[in-house]
Amino acid sequence: MSRIYDTRSGKSATQISTPGKNLYLAWSPHDPNLMATGAENNTVSFIDLRRNKVLKSVKNNQLVSCFLVPVYIACFHCQE
C-alpha cells in the first residue's frame, strides 16, 4: 500500500494498493505524475498519480533497490 500525503494539510490524500511492503520510491524525471515503488518481495509497481492507479507491476528475480528503480522508470516511460 502506498499513501500519498498532501504536504499542505499533512493528511493522507489517497491510498493506492501495491503488492508487497514498499521499501523504495522514485519519481519519474520525465513525468511528475508517474511514480515507482519497489517492494520487499522484489516487485516494482508503476503508479499513475493522476488516476491513483497501478499501471503495471513487475516481479524481479533480483533484489529491488533504490538504485534500480529510476532505471525501470526510464525504461517504462519510453515504452508508453
Q: What confidence tens digit (pLDDT) does each residue in 32-56 have?
A: 888 888 888 888 899 999 999 999 9
- The Cα 17–Cα 45 span in angstroms is 10
User: pTM (2 decimals)?
Assistant: 0.71
pLDDT of residue 65: 64
pLDDT of residue 3: 78
Q: Which fold, 2-78?
A: Thrombin, subunit H (2.40.10)
The average confidence (pLDDT) of the chain is: 76
User: Domain extents for the chain?
Assistant: 2-78
Sign of CA dihedral 56, 62, 64, 68: negative
